[in-house]
């Protein structure tokens, strides 16, 4: 690990000022940044710890669940409010990584990193959530812009994520047995944003909406409606864990299970 300056600001404004340095890196839960630093794959001049910014917490009001960016996965998984309003979101959080990851990892850190196999991006995209930052509000369909790429500008900090409460929703994934990352994860939702289906773990460019499934489910909200709806393998991942064709098959299987679970 290289030497770097460490700062722990007490306000979002102070954090933004520090992150104006292009060589500075924000630290949320550290589930990605710390291993990267240990492996000397990144050499920031400064690490800006976001823990004291007051960005943790969950509120439910007016049909919206708002989760602060520094809220941990375990907090989301254990939240009685989330379980009542969007049980699929609580279940998703409960299945992230292992207990150590869930105690430290944060929803904001996960979204800012936008790992192509992460779980939260599927929930944000399928539920039609909005990502709030220190400067603006970004709709889910505009936020994700490819593998490890988002609409965030340099120094921009996620402050919260707002999820519309759906009528029905569920998330089912096929996890890698070692990492628990999704080889394929499918989040289905029917609610204020219409019928939306988001797939994570499978696409070369990260999370994506499955328009074929959405059109079929808009006509009939049932697992049977997905029979015969193809998932092209051309743009899917292929690696030692599974071929693109295998992942294409898993997308259909996970989607049917998710619809059945959503009821």
Q: What pLDDT digit, counting tens, does each position of 116-136 carry?
A: 999 999 999 999 999 999 999
What is the pLDDT at residue 34? 93
Percentage of the chain modeled with pLDDT above 90: 96
What is the pLDDT at residue 183? 96
What is the pLDDT at residue 231? 96
Of the candidate CATH numbers 3.80.10.10, 3.30.465.10, 3.40.50.261, 3.40.50.2300, the domain formed by 58-262 belongs to 3.30.465.10
Mean pLDDT for the chain overall: 96
Domains of the chain, by residue range, sit at 5-49, 58-262
* Beta-bridge mates of residue 68: 160
Q: How far apart are CA 253 and CA 239, in angstroms?
A: 19
Find the helix or strand (DSSP H, E) in which 188 lies: strand 182-191
What is the pLDDT at residue 193? 87
Given a cut of 90, is residue 105 above it in pLDDT?
yes
Mean pLDDT of 82-105: 97
Segment 24-79, tens digit of pLDDT: 999 999 999 999 999 998 899 999 999 999 999 999 999 999 999 999 999 999 99
Contact indicator for 68, 26 with CB cutoff of 8 Å? no
- CA angle, 182 as apex, 177 and 185 as ends, to 5°? 130
Q: How far is CA 240 from CA 183, 244, 246, in A?
A: 11, 11, 11
Q: How far apart are CA 160 and CA 152, in angstroms?
A: 13
Strands (E), the chain: 5-7, 24-27, 46-49, 58-61, 64-68, 130-133, 137-139, 158-164, 168-175, 182-191, 194-200, 208-209
Given a cut of 90, is residue 184 above it in pLDDT?
yes
What is the pLDDT at residue 49? 98
Given a cut of 90, is residue 2 above it in pLDDT?
no
Segment 215-257, tens digit of pLDDT: 999 999 999 999 999 999 999 999 999 999 999 999 999 999 9
CATH number corresponding to 5-49 = 3.30.43.10
Q: How far apart are CA 13 and CA 157, in angstroms?
A: 10
Structure tokens at 47: 């690490």
Given a cut of 90, is residue 178 above it in pLDDT?
no
What is the pLDDT at residue 177? 86
- Alpha helical stretches, state H, 20-79: 33-38, 73-78
Mean pLDDT of 107-118: 97
């Amino acid at each position: 690990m290289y030497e770097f300056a460490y700062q722990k600001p007490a306000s979002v404004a102070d954090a933004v000022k520090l992150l104006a340095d292009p060589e500075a890196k924000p630290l949320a839960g550290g589930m990605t940044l710390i291993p990267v630093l240990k492996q000397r794959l990144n050499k920031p001049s400064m690490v800006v710890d976001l823990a004291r910014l007051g960005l943790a917490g969950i509120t439910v009001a007016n049909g919206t669940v708002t989760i602060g960016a520094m809220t941990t996965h375990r907090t989301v998984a254990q939240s009685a409010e989330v379980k009542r309003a969007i049980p699929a979101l609580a279940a998703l959080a409960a299945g992230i990584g292992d207990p150590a990851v869930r105690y430290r990892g944060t929803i904001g850190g996960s979204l800012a990193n936008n790992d192509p196999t992460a779980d939260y991006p599927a929930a944000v995209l399928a539920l039609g959530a909005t990502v709030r930052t220190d400067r603006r509000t970004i709709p889910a369909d505009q936020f994700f812009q490819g593998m490890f790429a988002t609409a965030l500008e340099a120094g921009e900090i996620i402050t919260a994520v707002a999820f519309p409460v759906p009528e029905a929703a569920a998330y089912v994934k096929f996890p890698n047995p070692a990492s628990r990352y999704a080889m394929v994860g499918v989040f289905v939702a029917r609610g204020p944003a219409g019928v939306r289906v988001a797939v994570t773990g499978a696409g070369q460019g990260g999370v994506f909406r499955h328009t074929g499934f959405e059109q079929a489910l808009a006509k009939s909200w049932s697992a049977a409606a997905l029979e015969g709806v193809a998932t092209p393998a051309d743009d899917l991942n292929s690696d030692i864990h599974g071929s693109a064709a295998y992942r294409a098959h898993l997308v259909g299987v996970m989607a049917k299970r998710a619809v059945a679970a959503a009821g």
